[in-house]
A and B are shown apart, each in its own frame.
Chain A
């Protein structure tokens, strides 16, 4: 009897460890951003379609905003585009685009063909700003609070459900300033 008890216990313990490991494995879509609860990284980038002007984090300070990282080379970005357009129509939070490692012409053409959900698009041609945001794949979408801190990061295509649950819910109850 006791001959089998110990191996059985070991088996159960190991099963438990492996189960927890599998369930909590750092899945790409569940990986937390290291920037949560930290100030939004400083950036100053040219504006798409208007290369003379720049967009910086300072210009966006004082109210919550959302940043969506995209590129015309990104297939999943095409998938989420309809959702982004619907979000833009709601007109509750400014949606800032970060055009990551893309060509300006291709990006402008994409927005003309599919519609433009962004209030403004910053151009990150060489990917430096994306690294500062800890971006590792497109699309990624960040919620930045009125305090200038990163509150949430969603990895993968935006959905109506995620938008409701993780973004709209973060708007302060009293409404926007």
Chain B
């Protein structure tokens, strides 16, 4: 009985996985050309759903996300470039709507901070390795003298 339940649970979780992996397929309507479809898929995945902020508008089922997808679709069909569409989104919702914020005075630290932390980590790592290396060298000499004495 218990085992049955567990199998059922695993099946349910598996089904859930399937659902989430195809979650961007909310749209019934396809873009007129494959090229446009590709741009549409790209743009909708890099724009943040403002209501559920860790999802892209492609992955979010809320009404506002579908309104924004419609907006992207219409702008592509109207002949706007990807950059123009991104700019129109930022003009209305701010930089936060982009998952990849632009490199500007206000957002520079977002891009720089990881490298600062990485450099700091390398610095610490090198220090530790150097210290350990000098310890090993002195140990070796002690063992050597023991060996020769024997």
Contacts and interface: CB of A to CB of B under 8 A. Distances in A.
B59 to A, nearest CB: 16
A160 interface: no
A35 B63 contact: no
B96 interface: yes
Given A101-B63, A128-B67, A137 B51 contact: yes
Interface string B82-108: 000000001111101000000000000
Contacts of A133: 92
A37 to B, nearest CB: 12
A127 B90 contact: no
A34 B64 contact: no
Given A136-B50, A136-B51, A127 B94 contact: no
B63 A34 contact: no
A132 interface: yes
Nearest to B109: A17
Interface string B17-60: 00000000000000000000000000000000011010000000
Contacts of A127: 63-64, 67
A34 B94 contact: yes
A131 B71 contact: yes
Nearest to B74: A128
Given A31-B94, A133-B92, A136-B93, A126 B67 contact: yes
The residue among B67, B68, B71, B120 with the most chain A CB atoms within 10 A of its own CB is B67
Contact of B92 (A31, A32, A126, A132): A132
Contacts of A137: 50-51, 64
Interface in A96-135: 101, 126-128, 130-134
Given A34-B90, A41-B92, 20 more contacts: A31-B96, A32-B94, A34-B91, A34-B92, A34-B94, A35-B92, A126-B67, A127-B64, A127-B67, A128-B67, A131-B67, A132-B92, A133-B92, A134-B92, A134-B93, A136-B50, A136-B51, A136-B64, A137-B50, A137-B64
Interface of B: 50-51, 53, 63-64, 67-68, 71, 90-94, 96, 120
Interface of A: 10, 26, 31-35, 38, 41, 101, 126-128, 130-134, 136-137
Across the A-B interface, give the 6 residue pairs with the lowest CB-CB distance, nearest first.
Answer: A136-B50, A34-B94, A134-B92, A127-B67, A134-B93, A34-B93
29 contacts: A10-B120, A26-B96, A31-B94, A31-B96, A32-B94, A33-B94, A34-B91, A34-B92, A34-B93, A34-B94, A35-B92, A101-B63, A101-B67, A127-B63, A127-B67, A128-B67, A128-B71, A130-B67, A131-B67, A131-B68, A131-B92, A132-B92, A133-B92, A134-B94, A136-B50, A136-B51, A137-B50, A137-B51, A137-B64
